[in-house]
Structure 1
Amino acid sequence: MRSLKQLFAAKLFNRNLLTKLRASRIVFTPLLAIIIFTLAIGIILGTLQMQERSQQENALFRELSFVKQRIQLRFLTNSEALVAMSQELAKANTDNNAQVKVLKQAEAFVANNHEISQLIWFNENNLRQWMIPLPSQATDWFDQSPNAETIERQLKRAIILSRETNRPAYSEIISLQSNTDQPIPLERQTVFWQTVPTTIEGEGAGILAVLYSAHGILEYIIPTELKSQYRFTLLNYSGNVLAISSDRNTPTRALSNETSLELGAFSPTLILKVDTYPPPTNLTFRMLLGVVIGLSAFVIWSLWSVLKQIQARNKIETNLRAETSFRSAMEDSTPIGIRAHDMEKRITYVNRAFCEMVGYSSEELIGLVPPFPFWPADKHDQLGTNMERVLQEQNHQLMKAGIEGELQRRNGVRINTRTYAAPLLNEKGLQTGWVTSITDISEPKKIREELTATQERFVTVLEGLDAAVSVVSLETGKLLFANRFYRQRFGPTEKGHISLNADEMSPHVIHDMKDDSVDVFAGLPESEFNQNTGSDSHEVQLMDGEPSWYEVRGRYIPWVDGHLAQLLIATDITLRKQAEDLARQQDERMQFTSRLTTMGEMASSLAHELNQPLSAISNYCMGVAKRLKTYSDSSLIAELMPALEKASAQALRAGTIIQRIRDFVKRSEPQRKSCDIAQIIGNAVDLLEIEANRHRFSIVAEIMPNLPRIELDPVLIEQVLVNLLKNALDSLRDAYPLPSRWSAPPVKITADLDPETYPTALRIQVTDAGSGIADAVIQRMFEPFFSTKDDGMGMGLNICRSIIESHHGRLWAKNQLDPEHARLFGCTFTILLPIELSENLSENHDDPKQYPENQSS
């Protein structure tokens, strides 16, 4: 009994302490609100003052911009007037009346512009002609030392700059000093020159020099009303004060702004600064602040009077709190959850046990209406029906037995419960709602936790695999499971599974399997299916993004819901495939090298074997020619001798070509000599002109006159041109049928100098109007053994490029388009050969900056 009394005494002490704390909170909460209100008003007033300051800064910037524009406009107007005056002075050089008129204009100009201290006219020989004010009116500050030397030096510098640029120029800022005890007036302390040159028919006719006063700019250009409100200062680029509009001091809180002042081209760097004078005292702001403080004090006094009434009320509420606390302690001590509803089924009360049961706080639950957040989403209808049955007052049997249900905690865990209900009556006996009690009847948690842990370990192992594991349902075609590797490579959908399975699991295949009246797996026991069905393995290449290879193994398994599913395990074997491709490419290169070696040996053998018959043919032709000369029939000799001489020359030429090819295969240098490229092109055209006429085509040569002679091997270069012309004729023969060949454009061969290369190179171009060359072919057509002809060996263009490169030149091809750029219209082969072969060119003949290579590739 004593311990029970001590317990109740402790509870009562806690309740009293809580009551005092609540009373203090009731008193200090309004006080805190008043303090916050006062701070808010202070912030608002501060914000208003900041806005006012921002408006003053904007007004200051506008006034500064206005003054800047006014000064720049005055200097621009003065410059234009000085230019016009200097032109009139130059024209009136010999006319005295005109000079007098201009002199009067100058005097009026100086009188109207008080910022100008001196105006001087210099003739074309830089001799002073006259000045305003007149020399008799000048003072010591201008003509006497030490100011005269400084002024004269800066004047000469400005004149020289004007002469060189033929534009108005400015001198540097000149700070004058007094040579007496008398101070220099403000108008003369800081000055600078502006010189305006005059030209007549392109020749200098004189210069008009004007001396500006820095103080005069502020004094006479800036309006008086602005100077009364602001203080303007002219500064140089170092920040030194040149002139100031007023010596009146400004307070530390005054606003300030500055901007650069550009008077024109070659003008000194000046900075225009403006400062504000202090504004008058803001009486409205102070009155408003006083009213706020007074109202705050009045409210605090009102709260003090209300405190006594609150203390009296607290005594009455203490007993009620004690009884309420006792009831709450009893409700919180029970492990059964209690929930109260009003007549609209709105939750009005929950105890601590129910909050712990569902994982929500009382503040989150009170006021909610069905469906509640602790109801599972898939059982809203069922639980709503159960609640209607429990809350029926007349069903007493059901209220005693209760009804089973299921609740979902905040963390997603579901628990099985049994719910009891009773009507809630007020003091008048009227029902105002229901009170329900909920008991947890869930299965033991240990079994569920063990199952969950087992599943997490299994998923962890699958997530750590370096292979994609995926399971897809055969019934729906949806992805049932995918590990981390699969999600990173293929995303969270079943598309990657279908791609790895070579599209055997596409949606239409699954639909056909589902609608098939014959079950392909019928009659096969599940145990037999799992034991005897092995996994198949195949390799799949995926082209999504970068090509990748996977080794895929799959099998059919029953899923946890009893339906059949397909399991795939895909291992990335891209690196292995790349290694195999690299080995295959190395093998192909070895075979290619072997073919080149064999071809070189064959070329050497053919050259050796053909030299003897060609020499015999040449000797026979020369012998027949000598025998014919002994005959007296001149007509016969005239008819046969040219043919025999040409046959002998061609036999000799063929032998030379074979010898050059043999030497080329042996990597020997070409036999260069000074040649006329026009003669080489003419020989090549003569060789193919008969074949071109036979196929109803023509060849046109356009050669720039007076081309320089070039060091090259004429036989090899002629062989290259013959090969290119023959290819052009073949392209025309494929593009034009026989009846329309006479209308085909001719094959054109041109020779000129390429001005875009350095050093200048000889450019030879062979152009046809055929069907062009495909992009895939134009990138490989210079490779050995690559040919688009059925009977071609694929060495012609490769040998041509090798010959040109052995001459330190370049050979490439480029397709031509028709005027509408709609289709290919022929191709142009371009050869660049250096005219002067220097040592630097020989050592760096592979420099792509000198001669451009194949632009198409």
Structure 2
Amino acid sequence: MKYPAFLRLLLAPVNWLRKIRGFRLVYTPLLAIVLFTAVMGIILGTLHLQEKGQQESALFRELSFAKQRIQLRFVNNADSLNTINREIAASSEDAKLKQLVREQSDDLVLNNHEIVKIIWLNADNSYQWTAPANNPKTDWISKTQNERAVNEGLTNAIELSRVTSRTAFSQFISLNLPSEESLAKDRRTVFWQVAPNIVGGQAIGFLAALYTTQGILDVIPNELKAHYRFTLLTDNDRVLSISSDRDTPKRAFSNQTSLDIGVLSPNLVLRIDTYPPPTNLTFRMLIGVVLGLSAFVIWSLWSVLKQMQVRQEAEANLRTETSFRNAMENSTPVGIRAHDMEKRITYVNRAFCEMTGWSSKELIGLMPPFPFWPDSRRDELVEKMNRALKMESGMKTGIEGVVLHRDGSLIETRTFIAPLINEKGTQTGWVTSLIDISEPKKIREELAASQERFVTVLEGLDAAVSVLDLENDHLLFANRFYRENFGDDSKGHFQLAGNANNLETLHDVAEDLQDSPPGIPTSFLYQESESEEIQLSDGSNKWYEVRRRFIPWVDGRLAQLLIATDITMRKEADDLARQQEERMQFTSRLTTMGEMASSLAHELNQPLSAISNYCMGVAKRLEGNLDPVLTKDILPALEKASEQAHRAGTIIQRIRGFVKRSEPQSKLTAISEIINDAVGLVEIEAHRHRLTIISQISENLPAVDVDPVLILQVLVNLLKNGLDSTREAYPLSSRWSAAPVKISADLDTSIFPAMLRIQVSDGGAGIPKSVSQRMFEPFFSTKSDGMGMGLNICRSIIESHHGRLWAVNIMDAEHTKLAGCTFTILLPLESPETSGNV
């Protein structure tokens, strides 16, 4: 009888078992039952999973639809409340518009079951009107004991809306209502939504809508509520309202999602549960069929249990024997592999896999040359293997070879080969055993490498390491750093010791140890001295941190180990830090003096104003006197005294504005005002040193967007530097011929876009080349009492205004020497923010 192809494929294992073991009557029905049961189980499971997936998809879809309906209703309500707010703001004088607003509020309450009432409150939280006005359904709160809780929730929501200027929600309010109240269930839990009415940035009132949680569920269509139960919960799983009191089964499908009804809203969770579906008779019949077939399978298996027990016992013995053999092979560190007659690998143990880094699956089936043989020695190893398989002498002594680990490391091995004989006495292959003989070689190589690494580390240290023989003062060891800095003798060792009598002391120690019993006391060895900082006296002024200890040399002699680390740079850094600390203290004193100057300017400004007013008052009273002597002598003197008092007050006002601390603030400022203030501040010091300052400001210069206080600070600093340079170049007796310090302002039209150019020029000795390269660096100064921060701060201020600052020397007429210096400032006419928006 011929079978179809797929049946022949299914019956192939059965036929094989029938021919081999003769158990046709047992295994054929057993295999058929197992296959049928498996297929039916897969079909039922697939149907069940498919039905479950469809129900979950439908549940998620309906939940998403209900969520969208609720969110859309809250969005529409919020839009309606905002519209009513706008009309309230516009109806302050129109009675008809006010009536229209009340009607819109009534319609909003009547058309939305979730809203109970709407209240309009003014900015002082006083009730103005309620919608609907004369409806008995809206005054049910005042008849209960819940009015206080509802009002507190409204007050909290209004305060939150007032602070945030946005629509806000109150927390959920649970009401205690009498059971006979017809709407007790619908109004069990309520909350407020407050929309601020903001006009001109101020809240003129608040429109509050009272919601019921049960009314929110009324937004969901009744068709959905007939098939599913919807529940509103808080974020802590407190039930607010349920669409139906009908119970759901324990294994009902359920899903939930968060309702985002507003930015300042409480957390609401909408949950959906399914009701029990109708009875599925077909599905239950299929389950009954499967259960019947399963009982038949159990009965069939019971009938073959005795035969299976015999087989399991034999298999258990075989597994025990196999496990014992595998344990023996895996416990030995010798790598074992087997080859067939074609030299193909048929077996490897765990030790061989660890030796090569390859897994057994990757090795079985390979033929020589093998991947664990180095490429450079493959031909040699193939020849050795062929010779060993033919010669018995190689089997006794073993063959030395090498194995390449997968990570690239080489393992020296010795291989032993033996023929593999089966139960019939026929050779079926060979068994090879590999022993790792590279461990002794590795130990010797590692010792040599360790010694080399130790010497390499000492040679690479940036510290002088030296060992001195205490008996003959010879240098036993010196690293590279010591040889490069102190030579090959022991003089450097004693220089680093830092004691002129150290040589005699070391000799005394050596003699005492020679007279003592054999052996160097352990308490004496390895006692490291405290580190000392030694400065060499050879003119190099280098500093070293030195540590010393006594050690026994390799031949037993006493020696001294010295380690010296160069700390010259650390010393220089400490000196620099100390100097910077002194400069910071000086800056603190300057700051204190600036604060005192500001206070002094404030105190002097009032008496100077009084002097000016008194002088002007006396001059007014004397104008009526016709005495020519008074008119000629006294009045001009009083006017000059008043003018000088006013000038002194102006100077003090400028000083106070200059030293007053304030936050940087940019504004449109005329550059001429800043230059005049700067000249007025520095002019006093210029006159004191018999020098002059002139200013040249072009007409019709546009105002620039700068911080006037910071730009004034820059100009005052540059003018003072110009005065100092001129004063150093000219002695006091010849300053009448010194060129004045000049400050000018114009437009630089040679670049695009044009920029405001300010130049400060002096007639001093100029800036040397070595100074010009570092003069803008912080803490660099050519003055003995200077901080070195002036020009650095000036450049930072100008660059913060998106401008540039640089200096150029001025040569004399013959171009033979420096005749002054010019500092140039370029400032943009428009701020980057303004120009970027245009």
Larger Rg: 1
Mark yes or no: TM-score above 0.5: no
TM-score interval for Structure 1 and Structure 2 normalised by the shorter chain: 0.3 to 0.5
